[in-house]
Amino acid sequence: MQPLAGVKVLDFSTLLPGPLATLILAEAGADVIKIERPGRGDEMRSYVPKFGSDSVNFAMLNRGKKSLAVDLKDAKVREQLLPLIRDADIVVEQFRPGVMDRLGLGYEALNAINPRIIYCAITGYGQSGPRAQVAAHDLNYVAESGLLSLAAGADGAPVVPGALIADIGGGAYPAVINILLALRARDATGKGCKLDIAMGDNLFTFLYWAMGNGLAAGEWPQPGAERVTGGSARFFIYRTRDDKFIAAAPLEQKFWENFCEAIELAPQYRDDDLDPAATKRAVAARIAEKPAADWQTRFAGKDLCCCVMATVEEALNDPHFKSRGVFNRNVSADGKSIVALPVPVADTFRSAQIDAGYPVLGDANGMLKK
């Protein structure tokens, strides 16, 4: 028995944050019905490259769900949704504040129909506040939270993050956490609730050390100058002779000493408190003397928290991740399969079914009563 077996989810969201949240719920056994626009559906269906009739992005994020293609502006269609709303446990939506209310599908309306419903609204800036109606994307939330200011490139300018941190870390994951908490609370009270998940708000968790340093000691972080943002030789990326990169993170003293031995760093640079910049230059010079494969051989079997940077393709073929079963599940379309998106749900809570498809637009429309 999967932990969310029997839990019914109506997913009105699109693109990444909401669909990833409901994917995680589906992987734990929830029955997820995706509500989409007729004809076009979720905008992400139109992206490229394609996998089957829709985009591979859509396939990855909507594995194992069903689809209803309905016009939410049509009052008759909204009436057809009433049986599903009465039977639903969770609603996830991602519109700007007020949109679902204008459609007659906001929390107050749904709560009147089904007091047990857990209504999760995911937005960039939350349901209230001066920016509640402002249009923005991941990069904007990261910039306005201060997170973007911490890492800088060689020219001192901020670097575009390599992941959609706000969408996933500020939106999808907090949504799942709070939905599970709400289910637990409902077990005790019998009542649902509204969850206000603001991606911008939730980014401050990533700033725990920066906030602590500034608030407690008045030491506000400088771009690229702090211990874990590039200011230390012990947490830095070094270029090898063959233009590959070493990710070196020997923060603790025992790892640092092992690292210094492995690269044969000159003794005068090993106390990196004396002249941090000089130590970093010396380490960079040593790493640049040899190709990545040589350093990989030297680092093997030693406790020093260093590795050669992998490409995404290399990571997907990494024997460690393969041995862990990270890529054992597949998403299928038109008789073909690719590796499914790994999600942070323990195998013990997931279905034994390895292969699953993604929904064709409107494939569940037959469940609506005329």
By annotation, the residues acting in catalysis are: 137, 167
Using alpha carbons only, give the angle 171, 94, 8 rounded to the nearest 5 degrees: 90
DSSP string, 225-237: -STTTTSSTTSEE
Residue 127: in which H helix or E strand, if any? none
What backbone torsions phi and psi does residue 3 show, to the nearest 5 degrees?
-65, -25
CA proximity to 223, closest of 143, 130, 303? 143
Whose tokens are 């379309």? That residue is 333
- CB 203, CB 142: distance < 8 Å: yes
- Determine whether 308 is exposed, middle or buried from the number of CB atoms within 10 Å of its CB (0-12, 13-18, 19+): middle
The CA-atom distances, in angstroms, between 155 and each of 223, 225, 281, 285 are 11, 13, 17, 20
Nearest CA to 160 out of 168, 144, 148 is that of 148
DSSP 357-368: E-PPTTTTGGGS
What tokens were used for 35?
């509500």
